[in-house]
């Protein structure tokens, strides 16, 4: 992207907001570095969301191990690579206090993001989910900062119960409603896989709902999710895992059999791929 000719942050922020107001669900795929972000833009996607796990894997770390500055560097590189809106996976804001979540939103916006998510997971095994009161305070602090930015910033609040084995739909809905009241623009409960669960969440709130796809047992299409009232669909670290799965299978073939059949499925020639990154 030519930064001088590229869209302003205000333009991008308005475009991201508008996508959530359209009829039906749009797909916001998750690149894991600047190169994959550029490829997704070239394929015609209208907005992107970063993935904490995908970017951590490119750095040789587990999900959640990167410091805030390291994670935000990945957000900045992706936002600078493309001319479409980018929403940042900001994990739990990289700290417990509401003021930490607020500062993380400020830093993500300074790095080029026009949206971002704050989740209610603590990263502590003994108590993996914040008390709902504190979680709502954290969302409220993030919302206050996002409202004060000089461009539209779409704040997503995530209820993580289902990712931590707490398949309590009633509590998840109660949390999403609290985050809505605290000022979140989009609501998200990763781990929902059935039509009944998703429909119940959509009915319970009056903000756009994001659904994570690509999970085991998730068979719903974009059309299915649109019919349920979902407005946004993401894939988390799914694209990264798909790419790494292909990489490992190719490497295993070379190591175990000394053959290179995997090359037949490679995308284009070196010159064709080089042309894609000629900016």
The sign of the dihedral angle between the CA atoms of 123, 80, 147, 155 is negative
In a domain, 259, yes or no: no
In the sheet with 48-49, reading across from the earlier edge strand, the strands are 26-27, 232-234, 209-212, 186-188, 154-158, 115-119, 86-89, 48-49
The answer to whether 57 and 66 are in contact (CB under 8 A) is no
Total structural domains in the chain?
1
Pairwise CA distance, residues 248 & 57, whole Å: 14
pLDDT at 75 over 90: yes
- Higher pLDDT: 232 or 6? It is 232
Task: Kindly report the CATH number assigned to the domain that includes residue 187.
Answer: 3.20.20.60
**Which position has the token pair 């939103």?**
105
In a domain, 255, yes or no: no
Does residue 243 lie in a domain region?
A: no
How far apart CA 260 and CA 274 sit, in angstroms, is 22
pLDDT value at 3 more than 70 = no
pLDDT digits (tens, 9 = 90+) for 6-48: 689 999 999 999 999 999 999 999 999 999 999 999 999 999 9
**Inter-residue contact 100 to 68 (CB < 8 Å):** no
Asked if residue 273 is part of any domain, the answer here is: no
Average pLDDT over residues 51-80: 98
pLDDT (0 to 100) of residue 267: 85
Task: Please compute the mean of the pLDDT values over residues 152-165 and round it to a whole number.
Answer: 98
Q: Kindly tell me if the per-residue pLDDT of 277 is higher than 50.
A: yes
Average pLDDT, the chain: 96
CB atoms within 10 A of CB 20: 21
Cα-based distances in Å from 140 to 172, 199, 236, 277: 18, 26, 24, 40
Residue 16 lies in a domain: yes
Per-residue pLDDT, 141: 98
Domain that holds residue 32: 9-237
Note the pLDDT of residue 6.
67
In a domain, 72, yes or no: yes
Residue 1 has pLDDT above 60, yes or no: no
Helix, strand, or coil (residue 231):
coil
**Average pLDDT, stretch 226-249?**
98
pLDDT tens profile 167-219: 999 999 999 999 999 999 999 999 999 999 999 999 999 999 999 998 888 99
With a pLDDT cut of 90, the percent of the chain lying above it is 91
pLDDT tier at 147, thresholds 50, 70, 90: very high
Q: What is the predicted pLDDT for the residue at 5?
A: 44
Query: Which of 6-10, 52-56, 229-233 has the least mean pLDDT?
Result: 6-10
> Measured between alpha carbons, how far is 88 from 78 in angstroms, rounded to an integer?
10
């Amino acid at each position: 992207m030519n930064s001088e000719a590229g869209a302003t942050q205000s333009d991008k922020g308005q475009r991201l907001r508008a996508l959530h107001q359209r009829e039906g669900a749009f797909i916001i795929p998750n690149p894991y570095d600047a190169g994959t972000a550029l490829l997704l833009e070239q394929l015609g996607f209208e907005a992107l969301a970063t993935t904490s796990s995908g970017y951590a894997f490119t750095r040789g770390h587990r999900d959640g191990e990167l410091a805030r500055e390291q994670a935000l560097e990945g957000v900045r590189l992706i936002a600078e690579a493309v001319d479409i809106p980018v929403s940042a996976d900001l994990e739990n804001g990289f700290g417990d206090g509401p003021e930490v979540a607020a500062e993380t939103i400020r830093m993500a916006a300074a790095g080029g993001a026009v949206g971002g998510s704050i989740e209610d997971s603590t990263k502590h095994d003994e108590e993996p989910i914040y008390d709902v009161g504190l979680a709502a305070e954290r969302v409220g602090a993030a919302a206050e900062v996002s409202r004060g930015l000089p461009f539209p910033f779409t704040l997503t609040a995530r209820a993580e119960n289902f990712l931590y084995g707490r398949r309590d739909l009633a509590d998840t809905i109660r949390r999403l409603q609290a985050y809505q009241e605290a000022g979140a623009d989009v609501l998200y409960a990763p781990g929902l896989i059935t039509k009944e669960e998703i429909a119940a969440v959509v009915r319970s709130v009056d903000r756009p709902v994001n659904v994570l796809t690509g999970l085991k047992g998730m068979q719903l299409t974009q059309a299915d999710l649109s019919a349920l009232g979902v407005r946004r669909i993401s894939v988390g670290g799914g694209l990264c895992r798909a790419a790494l799965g292909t990489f490992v299978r190719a490497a295993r073939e070379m190591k175990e059999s000394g053959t290179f059949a995997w090359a037949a499925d490679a995308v284009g020639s070196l010159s064709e791929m080089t042309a894609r990154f000629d900016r």
